[in-house]
Structure 1
Amino acid sequence: MNAAPDIDVDVLIVGAGISGLGAAYYLQRDLPGKSYAIVEARGAIGGTWDLHRYPGTRSDSDLFTFGYEFKPWKGDPIATAESIRAYLRETADEYGIHERISFHTTVIEASWDTAEARWTVEVADTRSGQRRRYRCAWLFAATGYYRYDQGFTPEFPGRADFEGAGGQVVHPQLWPSDLDYTGKKVVVIGSGATAVTLVPAMAGTAEHVSMLQRSPSYIVPLPARDTIADVLRKVLPEQRAHELIRTKNVLMQRATWRLCQRYPGAARRVIRWMNARQLPPGYPVDEHFNPRYDPWDQRLCMVPDGDLFAAISAGTASVVTDTIDTFTSTGIRLTSGEHLPADVVVTATGLNLQAFGGVDITVDGRRVDTSETVAFKGMMLSDVPNLAFSIGYTNSSWTLKVGLLCEHFVRLVDHMDSHGYDTCAPALPNDLPTRPLLDFEAGYVLRALDKLPKQGPAFPWLTSRDYLADVKLLRHGDIADPNLRFATNAERPSAVTPAM
């Protein structure tokens, strides 16, 4: 059988989640003459929203800012995964993006050839294993930063005894579609966004749900509806209302984060007061809802209408703060000696991070170790030509950052075309001090810092977490930069020529 012919495009986008679809939209809006294709390992669009199917899966950011700037969100601010998937499908269909996607297609390796100024990207069909190749001038990685095929679960002593006696252990990332927990005792291990979503969603159907946490997280109740947004959507045209709601929420997010950073003690007291108001009188708030770290050292967990606190107050759920000694045949024995009976244990214990979907990347035959690279403007890698990536905010809505990165990427490609360049790569200054790319203290981040790119001390090597600053730098700032080297006629990147 003859091998499939190479597919040649200007831009190959890897991933058909919220980032990949956004990149496709901006590319075809601003550079309609450019050809592009999207490869997606799964069988549907949505990325993380197609992967996660555990009970109650929902956003932990408001959809007015988590949704796209160009497409108004019409539902409630905190949305279910199902409604987010519908929104993304509608976006892909409305803008003709869906027809550019090759599903069940995973990237194996990507090789850059300076002489040709092209990437050769080998892909494989996830069902048949059949391989083919794409050739492209630009590679855009919209893969996020965690592994889709596995989540993180620690080794628990005694787990075999528990499962051998008929107990079930599941990770939310690989939720079995046929799991029936009706009338069963459930223990959810963890205290992050996934755990605080699962507990109220399972409570009431299960006999009882216990959230077992090693230490507390900050949990903030928010109204499930946005009354200001509802009013604006009634009296203004759809797009104008969306712009105002989005601006309002951006400013609120930014102000909240800055206040938490500047006045952590006061922020802690306010969150504790909000929690105590939602819990029964005499509840040990400081034992179960008083973290050891300051607000926004890790991401705050949002609970719409305080549903977690309502489940605790109703007696269908509880929080236990302790560590695990061992699983038993009937549940979990804790270090304190307490025993939690369980039929089902859910390990909401985090993610495994993975840079660029685990793809092998080479430049002129040299393998790129991404942990030795430094991120340029939070979207390119030092000394790697014509490769862009998108990672959203960790202290705000993911898509706010992604939209700006996609806009800047399109401006960069247009700048190269207008000056006749075919290659660009960031050049790392000598002796640049570096630090981790994700300036975030979550356990899943700390476990993988040695595998991820680094960032520098200041822009353009610092990855900004401030949306308003990024609007200035990415949307309106210059493309030409002394650290960004352009080349023509497939020469190796040389000194930058300033934009005219």
Structure 2
Amino acid sequence: MSVAPFPTDETPLDVLIVGAGLSGIGTACWLQTECPGKQYAILEARDTIGGTWDLFRYPGIRSDSDMHTLGYSFKPWSNAQAIADGASIRHYIQETAREYGVTQHIHFGYKVVEATWSSEQACWTVEAEQRVTGHRQIVRARFLFMCSGYYSYDEAYRPEFTGEKDFRGPIVLPQFWPKDLDYTGKRVVVVGSGATAVTLVPAMAEKAAHVTMLQRSPTYIVALPGQDAIAKGLRRFLPERVAYGITRWKNLSLSMLTYRIARGLPSLTKQRIVKMAAQQLGPEHAVDPHFSPRYNPWDQRLCVVPDGDLFQAIRQGKASVVTDEIDQFTPAGLKLTSGQELPADIVVLATGLKIKLLGGMQLTVDGRVCQANQLMVYKGMMLSDVPNFALAFGYTNASWTLKTDLTAGYVCRLLRYMDQHGHAIAVPRREADVQPQPFLNFTSGYIQRAGQVLPQQGSRRPWQVYQNYLLDMLTIRFGRINDGVMHFGPKGSLP
């Protein structure tokens, strides 16, 4: 796609959105609907819409959340597949952007490198670099909305192993999947046990000679129907929006209920998930140790396999699971710490993401450089003592978009409140008696590695990060804008 021309008017934009993925496009649609007079633009570092769903192109790429909750609240998901492939999700995002007239507001190929706030002007000055030419462009905006995700698009988490140079085959990272990689009839080892690995294994097994998933420790894996039978039935008798709304709330309620049960009764939940895995595998395949994790359910995110495709590939002998660690690469494969050797023609390192907040840009407020890990998150979406700024960050135990939809709706409420009361600045002020806590209570490796990157949450509201849609809805959608923590004022200095 071509790069849209930048506005030449010296007047700052009302809102600058960074990122044209699922969150950024949704935010723009909310702005156009709820704040139709606001002038906005979107900066997107890549050359197309879609974010994650355009970047990842590995075999089988799909959502691990149902699309009736991962989809936008205002745009029904009409595809029959509830657990959808990446191309379908990308098409959905692009279709939404076209329908709402968002595409014309996107400036492709510009990566934000620095954002500087001036209280005197009540304005952000954002410096963006054209990734092809290196040209720097300055954009000014009254409100900055970051929808750039939470991981690096340029780097993945990539552990190094002894003997890699001796291995005769390719070593592949899913985030940078080679277009010309032919794995037909090849022996493949996928290293990892997260959502990417459990997606890759059955997809590659369709053409490979055999695929082995090599994991250090098992993950909870749950088989769910690829299609939602209730959604399919409702669409036959009800208008599309009504059917979508009912299905959305049904799935949302079910996910919250199962999460609460899992956290309240972890041992019982573990037994149930492991038993379901055993039923999927059949009597010829052992569930322990490969599908019986050491941690409790939802200490890490559960993996969903539509229609049990991973288990089916194992039953058919096309795939297998090995629980062990890599000692070193050999010319013909991998030698494990147990002494076992895994033959491989191709090794795929599905070893995780590298967390990167705010797209890696430098954030400065009135000459003070802000470090994200020293800031506290207000209502899960704004940063302490950073004015006119919001961050789209979704749920870890439910669909990402549920939270980003709430965030976009809140920002629209906030902007309207500021207009009604003549305020130029809105800033959540950190309270001295609120104790800092980790932003996410997750034991996943990529979260643990990001301790110096992620901000903090607080010990009480409105600084707590709920992993609960109903609590967030009460706090964000219906809570008071002027709550005593959010401070307002005119141009000149921070209130």
TM-score bracket, shorter-length normalisation: over 0.9
Residue in 1 aligned with 2:275? 273
Other-structure match for 1:86: 91
Map 1:8-27 onto structure 2 (within 5 A).
8-27=12-31
Contact 2:395 2:403 in 1 (8 A): yes
CA contact (8 A) 1:142 1:389 kept: yes
| Equivalent AA in structure 2 for residue 80 of structure 1 | D
| Further displaced range: 435-444 or 291-300 | 435-444
> Is residue 119–residue 494 contact of structure 2 (8 Å, CA) maintained in 1?
no
Aligned letter for 1:45? I
The answer to whether structure 1 residue 493 and structure 2 residue 494 are counterparts is yes
Aligned equivalents of 1:418 and 1:463: distance in 2? 29
- 1:212–1:321 Cα contact (<8 Å) kept: yes
What CA distance in whole angstroms lies between the structure 2 residues aligned with 1:6 and 1:441?
48
Specify the alignment match of 1:148 in structure 2: 153
| Contact preservation (8 Å) 2:41, 2:105 | yes
SS in 2 for 1:402: helix
Indicate conservation of the 8 Å contact 1:6/1:133, yes or no: no
Q: Is 1:115 aligned to 2:117, yes or no? A: no
Contact 1:13 1:39 in 2 (8 A): yes
The equivalent residue for 1:256 is: 258
Tell me how far apart the structure 2 counterparts of residues 451 and 431 of structure 1 sit (CA, whole Å).
23
Aligned to 1:56: 60
Counterparts of 1:458 and 1:82, CA distance in 2:
41
**Identity rate of aligned residues, in percent?**
53
Distance in 2 of aligned mates of 1:457 and 1:192: 30
C-alpha distance in 1 between matches for 2:90 and 2:371? 34
Q: Distance in 1 between matches of 2:50 and 2:43?
A: 13
For 1:211-240, what per-residue CA distance to the aligned partner results, in whole angstroms no more than 9, with x for missing partners? 000000000000111111110011000101
- 1:436-491 CA distance string (max 9 Å, x none): 11221110000011221100012110011110111111111111121111111x13
Aligned to 2:130: 125
Asked if 1:445 corresponds to 2:447, the answer is yes
Conservation of the 8 A alpha-carbon contact between 1:40 and 1:103: yes
In structure 2, the partner of 1:336 is 338
Alignment of 1:307-322 (within 5 A): 307-322=309-324
Equivalent pair of 1:4/1:132 in contact (CA under 8 Å):
no
Kept in 1: contact 2:201–2:212 (CA 8 A): yes
Runs of at least 5 residues in structure 1 that lack an aligned partner in the other structure: 495-500
Match of 2:408 in 1: 406
What are the superposed Cα offsets for residues 25-64 of structure 1, whole Å, 9 maximum, x if unpaired?
Answer: 1111011110000000111111000100000000000000
1:6 & 1:207 partners in 2: Cα distance? 60
Once residues 452 and 229 of structure 1 are traced to their aligned partners in structure 2, the CA distance between those partners, rounded to angstroms, is: 37
| Selected match of 2:294 from 287, 292, 295 | 292
CA displacement, residues 46-89 of structure 1 (integer Å, 9 cap, x when unaligned): 10001000000000000000000000001110000000011011
Q: Deviations over 1:159-183 (max 9, x none)?
A: 1111xx3x10011011111111111
Letter of the aligned partner of 2:101 in structure 1? Answer: G
Q: Check whether the contact 1:6–1:135 (CA below 8 A) recurs between aligned residues.
A: no
1:105 corresponds in structure 2 to: 110
Cα shift at 1:108? 1.2
1:40 corresponds in structure 2 to 44
TM-score, normalized by length of structure 2?
0.97
- Superposed, which structure 2 residues align to 1:217-228 within 5 Å? 217-228=219-230
- TM-aligned CA distance change 1:4 to 1:473, over 3 Å: closer
- Is the contact made by 1:215 and 1:288 (CA closer than 8 Å) also made in structure 2? yes
CA-atom RMSD in angstroms: 1.2
Q: Write the distance in 2 (CA, Å) between the matches of 1:135 and 1:17.
A: 22
| 8 Å Cα contact 2:434-2:460 kept in structure 1 | no
Deviation at 1:419, TM superposition (A): 0.5
Cα distance in structure 2, aligned partners of 1:74 and 1:4? 36
Letter in 2 for 1:50: D
1:149, 1:446 → 2: CA distance? 20
Q: Flag structure 2 segments of 5+ consecutive residues without an equivalent.
A: 1-5
The equivalent residue for 1:433 is 435
Q: Once structures 1 and 2 are overlaid, which stretch shifts more, 123-132 or 399-408?
A: 123-132
Residue identity matched to 1:478: R
Quote how far apart the aligned CAs of 1:492 are. 2.1
SS in 2 for 1:407: helix
Distance 1:335 1:6 in 2: 63
Alignment match, 1:161: 166
Match of 1:135 in 2: 140
Indicate the SS of the match to 2:334. Answer: strand
SS of alignment partner, residue 139 of structure 1: strand
Whether 1:365 aligns to 2:367 is yes
Is this contact kept in 2: 1:64–1:72, CA < 8 A? Answer: yes
Measure the CA separation in 1 of the matches of 2:468 and 2:444: 19
Equivalent AA in structure 2 for residue 90 of structure 1? E
| Contact 1:278–1:310 under 8 Å retained in 2 | yes
- The DSSP-based 3-state class of the residue aligned with 1:285 is coil
One-letter amino acid of the counterpart of residue 249, structure 1: N
Report the Cα distance in structure 1 between the residues aligned to 2:14 and 2:494, rounded to whole angstroms: 19
Check whether the contact 1:120–1:136 (CA below 8 A) recurs between aligned residues: yes
Instruction: Tell me how far apart the structure 1 counterparts of residues 386 and 444 of structure 2 sit (CA, whole Å).
Output: 28
Q: Secondary structure at the match of 1:273?
A: helix
Give the alignment's TM-score, normalised by structure 1: 0.96
Residue 212 of structure 1 is matched in structure 2 by 214
Q: Residues 181-196 of structure 1: matches in 2 within 5 Å?
A: 181-196=183-198
Letter in 2 for 1:149: D
How far apart are residue 209 of structure 1 and its match?
0.3
For 2:199 and 2:162, how far apart are their aligned partners in 1?
A: 26
CA distances 1:284-322 after superposition (whole Å, capped 9, x unpaired): 211100000001111110000100000000001000000
Structure 1 counterpart SS, 2:494? coil
Structure 2 residue matching 1:137: 3-state secondary structure: strand
For the residue of structure 2 that corresponds to 1:421, the secondary structure is coil
Aligned counterparts of 1:287 and 1:132: Cα–Cα separation in 2 = 54
Letter of the 1:484 counterpart: M
- SS in structure 2 of the partner of residue 287 of structure 1: coil
